[in-house]
């Protein structure tokens, strides 16, 4: 699937000779910064890809987005999405540094970047005009806010701005709080997954056809794709979705409820689960109450249902209550803090908390049982692997292993 080096003894793409993940042998040049692109390439690195992260002279902005900072002064934010990579700095406005990049691309499988549309062309690195003819097996993944055409084409995109623009904030929050940003950069995060999926599909297509292609993802498209089921509800009913707090627009009870010592989230999907739930909390009559006999009725009477449920929860502690409900097959969980979630015994059982000298991070969420990935090496220091540039700029005959 991946061609042998044309430079005998060339060490640049020999960083992970023992990688065993599903993507072992895939070589990626990562020009992206901040979150969506770096998260994408970290996930690819976790599954064996060899990723060279190229930063501008001022570095990836997330190195400075703290506190907190590690003992070397690097923000935890950067470390969260950059493990498993090598790093060097190139100024792509400089011809010599562009030449070093082109040497790396001779044997790369994927180039990923998240510059404003037109930036690569400004540097004489456009995909259609330069890269595709010169490197016919190179897959180019571009991540941008809005793409390069249309009313918003070429404009910068940021997660929270897209949450606001694409309706996500309008359905997150309560009438008291007003529209609220979702507490994680969910648009960036999902765009990183979309880019990863696009790259893998393009690699598969190249394997079957021999043809590479450009992969494009935008924060705008990704944000709109998150509007499930709210977009479908509006398309069918014509009613604008409203703020519901933690509640679900189509299901009840599917919300957070107050117990004696904190909040519990219930996720009851159907009438049979609701009847079992009512028996479990010693309120079996609720299941036959006309207001609550069907999901549609429960949605109409959700406020009355909340009153009944919280009255039943008032004397119960959340841990014991949730355990009993889950034992009966009723989806329920205490509303945990981040430390409580990461210290949960099941998080450790699943390997979702990585702890080793000099690094703590989240585990690998995608499990392949035949070719498992693993968390890559600790995140690189700025320009840690500058020898890559030096090697790339040496005349081909002078490159040594």
Tell me the C-alpha distance between 290 and 278, whole Å: 14
Taking each helix axis from N to C terminus, what angle separates 271-280 and 318-327, rounded to the nearest 10 degrees?
Answer: 130
Query: Which of 18, 188, 271, 289 is flagged as catalytic?
Result: 188
Contact call for residues 74 and 383 (beta carbons, < 8 A): no
Contact call for residues 279 and 350 (beta carbons, < 8 A): no
> 188 an active-site residue?
yes
Q: β-pairing, 353-356 with 359-362?
A: antiparallel
Q: Where are the beta strands (DSSP E) in 163-238?
A: 214-218
**Secondary structure of 288-319 in HEC code, one letter for each residue:** HCCCCCCHHHHHHCHHHHHHHHHHHHCCCCHH
DSSP codes joined into one string, 247-288: --SS-SSEEEEEETTEEEEEE--SHHHHHHHHHHTT-GGGGG
* Helix %, strand %, coil % of the chain (to 5): 40, 15, 50
For residue 367, with 0-12 CB atoms within 10 Å meaning exposed, 13-18 middle and 19 or more buried, which class applies?
exposed
Collapsed DSSP state (helix, strand, coil) of residue 133: helix
Contact call for residues 233 and 179 (beta carbons, < 8 A): no
Report, as residue numbers or ranges, the catalytic residues. Answer: 188
């Amino acid at each position: 699937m991946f061609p042998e080096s044309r430079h005998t003894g060339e060490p640049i793409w020999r960083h992970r000779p023992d990688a065993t993940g599903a993507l072992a042998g895939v070589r990626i040049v990562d020009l992206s910064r901040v979150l969506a692109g770096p998260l994408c390439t970290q996930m690819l690195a976790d599954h064996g890809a060899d990723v060279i992260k190229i930063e501008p002279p001022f570095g990836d902005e997330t190195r400075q987005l703290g506190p907190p900072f590690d003992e070397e002064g690097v923000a935890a934010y950067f470390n969260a999405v950059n493990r498993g990579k090598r790093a060097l700095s190139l100024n792509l406005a400089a011809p010599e540094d562009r030449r070093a990049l082109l040497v790396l691309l001779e044997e790369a499988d994927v180039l990923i970047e998240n510059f404003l549309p037109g930036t690569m062309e400004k540097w004489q690195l456009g995909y259609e005009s330069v890269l595709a003819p010169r490197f016919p097996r190179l897959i180019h993944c571009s991540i941008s806010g809005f793409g390069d055409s249309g009313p918003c084409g070429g404009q910068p995109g940021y997660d929270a701005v897209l949450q606001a623009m694409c309706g996500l904030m309008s359905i997150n929050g309560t009438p008291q709080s007003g529209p609220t940003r979702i507490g994680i950069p969910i648009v960036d995060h999902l765009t990183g997954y979309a880019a990863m999926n696009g790259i893998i599909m393009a690699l598969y297509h190249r394997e079957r056809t021999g043809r590479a292609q450009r992969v494009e993802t935008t924060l705008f498209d990704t944000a709109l794709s998150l509007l499930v089921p709210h977009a479908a509800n509006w398309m069918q009913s014509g009613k604008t979705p409203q703020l519901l707090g933690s509640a679900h627009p189509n299901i009840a009870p599917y919300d957070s409820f107050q117990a004696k010592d904190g909040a519990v989230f219930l996720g009851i999907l159907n009438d049979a689960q609701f009847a079992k739930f009512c028996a479990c909390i010693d309120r079996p009559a609720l299941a036959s109450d006309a207001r609550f006999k069907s999901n549609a009725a429960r949605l109409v009477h959700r406020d009355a249902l909340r009153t009944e449920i919280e009255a039943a929860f008032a004397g119960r502690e959340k841990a014991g209550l949730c355990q009993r409900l889950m034992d009966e097959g009723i989806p329920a969980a205490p509303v945990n803090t981040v430390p409580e979630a990461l210290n949960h015994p099941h998080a450790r059982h699943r390997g979702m908390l990585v702890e080793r000298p000099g690094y703590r991070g989240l585990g690998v969420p995608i499990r392949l049982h035949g070719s498992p990935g693993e968390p890559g090496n600790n995140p690189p220091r700025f320009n840690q692997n500058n020898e890559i540039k030096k090697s790339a700029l040496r005349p081909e005959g002078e490159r040594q292993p």
